[in-house]
A = this chain, B = another copy of it.
Amino acid sequence: MTDISALGEFGLIEHLTRDFQGKQASVLKGIGDDAAVVADGEEVQVFSTDLLLEGIHFDLAYFPLRHLGYKAVAVNLSDIAAMNALPYGITVSIGMSNRFTVEALDELYAGIRMACEKYGVDLLGGDTSSSKQGLIISVTAFGKTGKDQVSYRSGAQPKDLICVSGDVGGAYAGFLILDREKSVFLENPELQPDLTDFDYVIGRQLKPEARTDVVLKLREWGIVPTAMIDVSDGIGSELHHISRQSGTGATIYADKLPIDFQTVSVAETFQISPTTFALNGGEDYELLFTVPLSAFDVLKTEPGITVIGHVTEEKGQVQVVLGNGTVTDVPASGWNHFPDKKEKPE
């Protein structure tokens, strides 16, 4: 008998789905990207699904239910954005034990509704069930884009520029602060946490956004990324996904990585390199994408987009050039939900 952890999360999915054969010609992409893509005339339908489990993906000790509802939606819409598509709807299934009151669920749904308002998407289906097992949230997101607008993970070309939106590593910094304050609280419930210096990174952890605004900007600029993925597991892991699926490699520059000063400050506090935060810290939900060199003239003046490196020909080799000029490999091991989160960035 084989232990699940022997395969790892990505290995397990590949193993379990290896014998499934495509039946519908309209299915352009099934498993293996941020979302599935189904042909639909001049457009494509884009679908993505996520399961969030209490004790694995979130800890209600410091995750307010309203934020949790918002985040559950945002992270799914982020998968739609990562296909260069725009979302139009979601379905939400909830399982909850009887320790939850109607008022607690109202908070959760208030967050779901805020996200629906913010992104202009409809709640297409709802399902609730009791659970013996804490809180379970399953969200499926539905989006659309033009047939020629889809960005898969597999289209990167050597010499393409590697770009990322916003800044990275912040959500992980926020997680570390919240987790530390929880430990302090458990030791001494009288102490009040002081989180004022960490408002930005805590916001990154508790209320991430889907970068549909970047998708709209790309359309405005007439740029279709050759490859795109959202940063849920850390830039290092995402670059390996793009490299493996595109048959290319990647070289990025540590001093180009967009890292907020609060993230740097938390990294110093925990004596971890900010580059490690940026490469391995997950849940930023920024868009990581590749574009032809010709797009540089447009992107170089955009403050919200940073060019961090370029695509290379060395298949599967992801390297980072450190500030001192040293070149080092970035390991493929990304954000792994199976071991304890705290152990990951080392």
Contacts and interface: CB of A to CB of B under 8 A. Distances in A.
Interface of A: 1-7, 9, 12-13, 15-17, 19-20, 22-24, 26-27, 30-31, 35-36, 38, 40-41, 45, 47-51, 53-57, 88-89, 91, 93-96, 98, 100-103, 105-106, 109, 113, 116, 120-134, 136, 138, 140, 142, 337-338
Oligomer copy total: 2
Contacts of A132: 53, 55-56, 133-134
Contacts of A138: 49, 51, 93, 138
Nearest to A16: B109
User: Which of A51, A88, A121 is the most central at the interface, judged by chain B CB atoms within 10 Å of its CB?
Assistant: A51
Given A4-B105, A54-B133, A93-B138, 18 more contacts: A4-B96, A4-B130, A20-B123, A23-B116, A23-B120, A30-B122, A36-B89, A38-B142, A45-B45, A47-B124, A49-B125, A50-B93, A51-B138, A91-B140, A95-B136, A131-B133, A133-B134, A133-B136
A35 B142 CA distance: 14
Contact of A5 (B30, B40, B95, B98): B98
A4 B101 contact: yes
Contacts of A22: 122
